[in-house]
A and B are shown apart, each in its own frame.
Chain A
Amino acid sequence: MRGFNVLLQKEFREAWRSWKFLWIPLVFALLGMTDPLTNYYMMDILNAVGNVPEGFEMLMPELMPVDLLQASIGQFQTIGLLVLMATFVGAISKERASGMATLLYIRPISFGAYFMSKFIVMSAVGFVSILAGFAASIYYTVVLYGTLEIGPLVASFFTYFSWLLFVIAVTLMMSATFKTVVATTCAFAVIFIGQILDSLVGAFWTISPWKLPLYGVQLMRGTMEMSDYWWSLSLTLVVSIICMSIGILTMKKNASMTKI
């Protein structure tokens, strides 16, 4: 892992100076506070808009605190991931296309070290982001609806973080393997079409990385079949490690694609 510390410092500086540690968590925080707020004030919003007919009675569903966290995670799963992936999918491919990689690749660095330094900084950005998102969501949920149990909440958070590591591993692997446009397409396909497929026909299996965010919520509800949970978590970690290994190999193989 030659040069790991140096490269990690470089990646961290870049992410820090381009404000990634600020604006991506902000996006997640906004997403996180949306659902508790809009659901709670739905009646007021409708009244304020003023188109509610006289005598109209609408039955609002009785929401549990955990329902709101699930809704927030649903937001992270679409818009949140979109932002995160779009930001990071060029991490390797754009560096090659612009020629910025050249001055690093000619040195005796290890590609494993370079890949991992990127992975770790992205994971750190991801961690801070979902921390902000969860915090915003939970804050308003607790204020407006009621408390959540802390133990399962932490478990749910780290379950979601494991899923995020998988997303980042897939994104980086695609970036190492393809040019930016193709990498974007492929990474989005794996994550988003994967989600759709898993929700459409996912009833036929119980072990899958794409189910992990939902399983995190079920941990809080206390309805989780624990063996499914552990298998899915393990599978996700194994697949992530495989993606990272492939990423390191293709990054090395594609080193000559860098613009000189």
Chain B
Amino acid sequence: MTILLQVTGLTKQFAEKVVVDGIEFSLEKNTSTALIGPNGAGKTTTLSMLTGLLKPTSGSVKMLDGDVRANIGFLPQYPQFHPWLSALEFTEMAAKLNGVPAKKAKVEAQKTLEFVGLGNDLNKKISTFSGGMRQRLGISQAIVHKPKLLLLDEPVSALDPVGRREVLDLLKGLQQETTILYSTHILNDAEEMTDQLLFLRDGKLVEQGTLREVRQRFDEQNYVVEFSTEKEAKLFASQSGLIGEAKGSHVYIEIIDEKPSMQELLQHLSSCPYKIRKVERQTASLEEIFMKVARKI
């Protein structure tokens, strides 16, 4: 895999407050990366530094094949447009400013707007647009010039469930040919389209890796066995010879280095006289990992 963007020691300090603190990561070509973190973690500040709008206090952002500004598309969290222009005019202008030749720009703008679902609103004034339409227009101005890197700040947070679904599908369609970095605090979205996770907290990058890696690191792996009564659960926990802890009618059995295996557990259970309701291996959702990372000291 080739690396597209290399970020080293990126730091931003406003007056006394360090908002982004020496973060380092790289983005591989044609992968999607989610920048996750609680509010105020420094996600937007990081993205603004990547776009070049904000000068870092120290550190660098390097695009490995060329200038950053010429090769990115950016969607701010609340994109603001010039209300006097129509969707087509705005997208066409965006394309031209990024160096798409004038003749091609209009065709590309039209195609892009159709792709994001604004094909019927090409010539409507932006001032008449709804929130969902603005978000789509925001995406179209970010992708019309086919940038190598697409930066999205909370692309779906402001949308209703239907709009979210549609925008996520749009972005998935782009995944094959574009490198995407997006910030979000909606973890289901991150779970859905992510090759790499970057956890930001208090301006520091506290976790990074693929969803799988992060999961392994943070997952308390457990078997959960549910019995029909609390008493049975207690009895099983004390008698079975497995290290288990009873909570209510559940017994939690910790997995350490894949021990005990599911087979071993089932053997224990098959000889057990109590009524068993459910057996499962528990994996933490991204949300639980998020909570753990957010609280980790």
Contacts and interface: CB of A to CB of B under 8 A. Distances in A.
Interface residues of B, number: 31
B69 interface: yes
A107 B48 contact: no
Given A13-B85, A255-B53, A3 B76 contact: no
* 6 shortest interchain CB distances as A-B pairs: A99-B80, A17-B84, A107-B97, A6-B96, A100-B80, A108-B69
B97 A108 contact: yes
A102 to B, nearest CB: 5
B40 interface: no
Nearest to A107: B97
Nearest to B86: A13
A106 B74 contact: yes
Contacts of B52: 106
Given A18-B84, A256-B53, 15 more contacts: A3-B97, A7-B97, A9-B93, A10-B82, A10-B89, A13-B85, A100-B80, A102-B80, A103-B74, A103-B76, A103-B81, A258-B53, A259-B80, A260-B48, A260-B53
Contact of A106 (B51, B67, B85, B99): B51
A105 to B, nearest CB: 6
A256 B54 contact: yes
B139 to A, nearest CB: 12
A92 to B, nearest CB: 13
Nearest to B67: A108
Interface string B54-65: 110000000000
Given A256-B53, A256-B54, A260-B48, A107 B98 contact: yes
A260 B42 CA distance: 13
A109 interface: yes
Contacts of A17: 84
Contact of B48 (A9, A103, A256): A256
B55, B80, B85: which has the most chain A beta carbons within 10 Å?
B80
Interface of A: 3, 6-7, 9-10, 13-14, 17-18, 98-100, 102-109, 255-256, 258-260
B89 to A, nearest CB: 7
B196 interface: no
B77 interface: yes
7 contacts: A10-B85, A13-B85, A100-B80, A103-B76, A103-B94, A256-B53, A256-B54
Contact of B89 (A3, A7, A13, A18): A13
Interface string B140-170: 0100000000000100000000000000000
Contacts of B82: 10, 14, 100
B78 A99 contact: yes
B190 interface: no
Nearest to A100: B80
B69 A106 contact: yes
A105 B141 CA distance: 13
B80 A105 contact: no
B70 interface: yes
Given A6-B97, A106-B69, A260-B44, A100 B81 contact: yes
A47 to B, nearest CB: 49
B293 to A, nearest CB: 25
Contacts of A102: 53, 74, 76, 79-80
B20 interface: no
Given A108-B70, A108-B97, A260-B48, A14 B80 contact: no
A14 B84 contact: yes
A104 B97 contact: yes
B81 A3 contact: no
A103 B81 CA distance: 8
B273 to A, nearest CB: 64
Nearest to B75: A103
A10 B82 CA distance: 9
A49 to B, nearest CB: 45
Given A105-B53, A106-B51, A256-B55, A98 B97 contact: no
B251 interface: no
A106 B77 CA distance: 14
A98 B52 CA distance: 19
A10 B44 contact: no
Contacts of B77: 260
A3, A98, A107: which has the most chain B beta carbons within 10 Å?
A107
B48, B81, B82, B99: which has the most chain A beta carbons within 10 Å?
B82
B96 A3 contact: yes
Contacts of A103: 74, 76, 79-81, 94, 141
B76 A260 contact: yes
A134 to B, nearest CB: 29
A111 to B, nearest CB: 12
B251 to A, nearest CB: 50
B53 A109 contact: no
Contacts of B98: 107-108
A106 B53 contact: yes
B198 interface: no
Nearest to B44: A260
